[in-house]
Structure 1
Amino acid sequence: MATWKDVHEAAPGFAARVRKIFDAHKHKTIATLRADGSPRISGIEAEFADGELTFGSMPGARKGADLRRDPRFALHSASVDPPQDDPAGWPGDAKISGRAVGTGELSGETPGDAFRAEIEEVVCTGLNEAGDRLVIEFWRPGAGLRRVERT
């Protein structure tokens, strides 16, 4: 498992692109696992701070209960359509998966549970410069950064 700092140190350009995509919009989507093993998706806010990816869950929220029971998660940035007149101008989207580690209570006005991410994979999907091929970059601890292009 890795922290966001580990991702940034191993692949700084890639980490900067991923963070820019995540930071472009306040709301993200997180997938957690219900008690019966089926997936649940929920809206969430996340933050990169002090080398960590952190997020929270309001009191009584099902996503917090899911993460306390089974810490596996997948976090997806907001996704927008590529501009029709400039497909290569699409910023793409980003995903981070791993395990949530409880860090105590949320600080601030809203109560709840705070979590930090232990990262297993980071993925950034976009288009090539011509806008005619899908480009998927992914980073995993110990495996480094890889890139795949698809038509």
Structure 2
Amino acid sequence: MATWQEIEKEAPEFAERVRAVFGAGTNKTIATLRADGSPRISASELDFADGEVTFGMMGGSMKLRDVRRDGRIAVHSPTLEPPKEGGWSGDAKLAGRAVEIPAPPDNPHEGAGFFRIDITEVALTYLGEPADHLVIESWHPGRGHRRRTRT
């Protein structure tokens, strides 16, 4: 597993593009695991700061219960409709394990949980130039950055 800072050091241009796609909107989609092992998807916000990806969850929420029981998660960037003519920044995804961290000192939310993500995978998918193929870039610990195309 890795921190965001490690990805920024190993593949800075890739990390910058992934961060920009995640920053294109407020609500991301987070996937957690229910007690029976089935997936749950929910809206969430996250932050890239100080070399880490962090997020919080309201106290009593089902996703908070999920993550405290089993920290494996996946997060998808905001979904934006591709424009008719070029310029689509793509979709970004990351997966890993949520690790609980102390609440910020100014936290007004009773029972909320705060987490960083120990990252196992990052992916960025977008249209190539010309827009007749798909480009998939990914990063994994131990393997680093990889770029593939599909037609």
Give RMSD over aligned pairs.
1.0
Q: Deviation per CA, 1:47-96, whole angstroms, max 9, x where unpaired?
A: 00100000011000111111111100000001112111x1x310101000
Match of 2:143 in 1: 143
Greater mean deviation of Cα atoms: 88-97 or 12-21: 88-97
Which contiguous aligned blocks of 4+ residues in structure 1 show a shift greater than 2 angstroms? 104-111
Mapped partners of 1:43, 1:110: distance in 2: 18
In 2: Cα distance, 1:129 partner to 1:109 partner:
47
Structure 1 length-normalised TM: 0.95
Cα shift at 1:9: 0.5
Partner of 1:109: 108
Q: Distance in 1 between matches of 2:99 and 2:83?
A: 37
Shift of 1:109: 3.0
Identity of aligned residues (%): 54
So what's the TM-score if we normalise by structure 2? 0.95
1:110 Cα deviation (Å)? Answer: 3.2
Shift of 1:24: 1.3
Write the distance in 2 (CA, Å) between the matches of 1:141 and 1:121. Answer: 7
How many residues align? The count is: 149
* Amino acid of the structure 1 residue aligned with 2:69: R
- Aligned-pair distance for 1:125? 0.4
Cα distance in 1 for residues equivalent to 2:75 and 2:134: 20
Partner of 2:74: 74
